[in-house]
Amino acid sequence: MRRHGLWMMVSVLFLLAGLAACTAAPTTPAPVPTQPPLPSVSGETPQALDAPALLQKGGCGACHVIPGVPGAVGVIGPDLSQIGLTAAERVEDAAYTGTAKTALDYLHESIVKPDVFLAPDCNGAPCQKGLMTPALAAQFNEAELNAIVEYLASLKGETPPTGGVEATPPVEVGEAPALTAEEFEQARQIFFDRCAGCHGVLRNGATGPALTPDKTLPKGTLALASIIFNGTPRGMPDWGKQGVLTAEQAELMAKYIQNEPPAPPEMSMEQMRGFWKVLVAPEDRPSEPQHTRNWENFFVVTLRDAGQVAVIDGDTYEVVATLNTGYAVHISRMSATGRYVYTIGRDGKTALIDLWMDPPAVVAEVKTCYDARSVEVSKYNGPEGDFTDRYAIVGCYWPPHFVIVDGLTLEPLKVVSTRSYTYDTQEYHPEPRVASIVASHFSPKWVVNVKETGQIWLVDYTDVQNPAIKMLNAERFLHDGGWDASGRYFLVAANNANKIVVLDVQEEKVAAIVETEKIPHPGRGANWIDPVYGPVWSTSHLGEGALVAIGTDPVNHPEYAWKVVRTIPLPGAGSLFLKTHPNSPWIWVDHTLNPDEEIQRTVCVIAKANPVEPYKCWQVADYGRAVHFEYNLQGTQVWVSVWGRADDPGRTGEIVVYDDKTLEEIARIPNLVTPTGKFNVYNTVKDIY
C-alpha cells in the first residue's frame, strides 16, 4: 500500500473514536445529514455488504471489542458491544454537543466529523483527541459507510445479526511484511532506543504488551502503525505526534514487529573487560574537593538524547560539567559517601563520575550488557565488615544478568545470569530482566528485582566470586520502587500486575502484596504523613489517573498497614513520577505519558493536609513534556524537567525551579537536551523522597 494511502486509512482503526473521543479536528468538516446517506450509485445496499468484514479489514478490532468481527478484542478504545444503545442514549443526553438527532446520525457523525463530540469514557480511561482523523469517511463509498453505521446501530448487547457475520472468515494471518536489510537494521535500532524497555528485547512484553508475530500479525500494518504514531490513553507514547517518528517510520516499525525478533548477542566476561577503562586511577584522584562549591547540592541531570549527564550547581543553577556517559542514562546513583556518581545508560554502559574533581569528570567506565536500567553500590558497614563503596552492581535487560564490579574502578568481577523459571507457573523464561536494585542497610546484600520471573533476589556480596542468593517469590513484572520512611521496607511496583510488593528487608521476607490501580509507576515513590491514616507511601500510575496512598506503619497504625487507604484522582493517566520531602506541604506528580498535549506538560500538587484532590495543576511550559521532580538539599525548591526534542533548537528542553512553599517559579535553566531524571546528591544518598 502506498504510504499516503496507509495514513488515510489509519483512522479506520479508531472507527468509533468520535464515540470514544479519540479524535483529531478535520480541516474541512463534511456536512452531517439528518438521515443516513443514500446508497451509492453502484446499487449496493447496506444489507448486501459485509460490514464486519469492512471493520476487520480496517483493523478496528485492534482497539475495540466488536461482536461479530473476528479478532476484535482490543482494549484501547471502548467496548462496542452495546454501541447501538449508547448512540441512542447519547443524542438525548444534555451533555452531548453534536448535531445528530438519531442514533444513525450520531454514528455517521462520529465517522465523518470525529471531533464534534468527545465522549467521557474510553474503556475506563479519559478520552483524548488525536487518535482518529476525519479522513475516515473518504475510505468508504456511501454504501459501505451506511453498512458500517447500520451494523453498529444493531449492536445492543445481544447476539449480533448474522447477515454478514456467517460469511465473515476467521482472522487471516498472512506472511510478515518484507523488509530490506537496511530497513530491518533501522527498525531494530529504533526498537532498541524507544520500545525494548517496555516490550522486551525478545518482545515478550512486560510494562507493555507482547509484540511477537502471533500477536501482531492479526492486527496488521495499518492498525499497528496507528497505535505507534498516535499512542494510547494508557501509557503508550504517541511517537508520531511527538515528532520522534515520522509516518514512514511508524509504518516501518509496524512491519518490523510483525517479523520474528532478531536473536540478540550474548556478552562474555572477556568482552566486558575489553570495554573496561580506568581514566583516572584511584590513587591519582584528589583526597579532598578541588573546588569550593557545595557538591552535596549538585544535581546530576540526564540529557537523554545527547548521551550525556549535566552536573548542575543547586545553589547557583550553573552547569558545572557536561559529561559523556551511556546513551539515555536511566538512573544515577550516588556512592555511600556521595563523592561518586554511578550512571547507567540504556546501552549498558556504566560511568563513574568523581564530584570532587574540578570540574567533575568521568574516572572510569565499563559496558556490561547491551541494554540496562539499574546500578547500585555496596553500603553496608557493620559487624560483617565495612563494604562502603567497595562494590557496585549493574542490572541488565539484555543479556538477562547482573554484573558485580569494583566500586572504585568498575572492573568486572562476577556475572550472574537471571534466566530462570517463573515463580508461579514454574515455566522457563529466556529473558528475566533485572529492574530496580537497592542496597540493604541491615546486611551486606543487594535487593535485586527480577522482572519477568516475579522474584526478588537478595544477593550477598561478602564473597563476590561465590555470592549467596536468597530467592523470594513476589509478583511478575517487578519494576521500580523505594523505601518507606523507616528504611526497613522496600515497596516495589509489579506494574503490569497492578500490584505493589512490600519487602521486609530486615526479616528478609515479603510482608504484603497490595492491589493498586492500573500500571503503578512510582519511581522511588513518596513518603508522607496522612492526617487520618498516619505514615503512608504513594505511587501514581501509567494506566489510571490516580495517586494511591498505602499505609506503612504496622506498629502504630496496624489497621492501615499495607492497605490502600486513599485513591486521589488526577487529571489523567500516564504519570511517571511523584515526589515529596519531609519539610514540604505538597506531593508533586507529573503526567508525562498522557496522550493529551496539555496534560503532558501539566504538573499537579496535592496538599498533605487535605489529600482528597489536587490543590493546583498548571502547565510548566508551552512545549514538550513535564517529567520528574527533585528537591534541593535544603528541601525548599523543586526542580522539574521540560523534556523537549533534540532536533528542535530552542525547545530541546529546560529545567524549571519552583519555590516549594509558594509554588512560584524561581528560575529556568535553559537549552538542555531532553533533560529527564535529576538526582540531588544529598537526597539520593539519604533516600529522601
**Cα dihedral: 517, 13, 193, 579 (round 10):** -30
Distances (CA, A) of 444 to 376, 439, 504, 508: 13, 8, 15, 12
Q: What is the biggest distance separating any 2 CA atoms in the chain, rounded to whole angstroms?
A: 89
How far is the C-alpha of 649 from the C-alpha of 113, rounded, in Å? 35
Residue 324 φ/ψ, nearest 5 degrees: -75, 130
How far is the C-alpha of 219 from the C-alpha of 370, rounded, in Å? 30
Query: What cell does 327 get?
Result: 546513551
Opening angle at CA 626, ends 625 and 630, nearest 5: 150
Give the dihedral sign, CA 139/141/144/146. Answer: positive
Per DSSP, what are the bridge partners of residue 65?
73
With beta carbons less than 8 A apart as the criterion, state whether 99 and 116 touch.
Answer: yes
> For residue 402, which amino acid is it?
F
> For residue 339, which amino acid is it?
R
Known catalytic residues are 195, 198-199, 236, 479, 521
How far is the C-alpha of 102 from the C-alpha of 88, rounded, in Å? 7
Report the half-sphere exposure of 281 (CA within 13 A, side-chain side): 2
DSSP H helix total and E strand total for the chain: 15, 37
Query: What cell does 21 get?
Result: 473521543
How far is the C-alpha of 679 from the C-alpha of 645, rounded, in Å? 21
Closest CA to 106 of 119, 124, 122, 123: 119
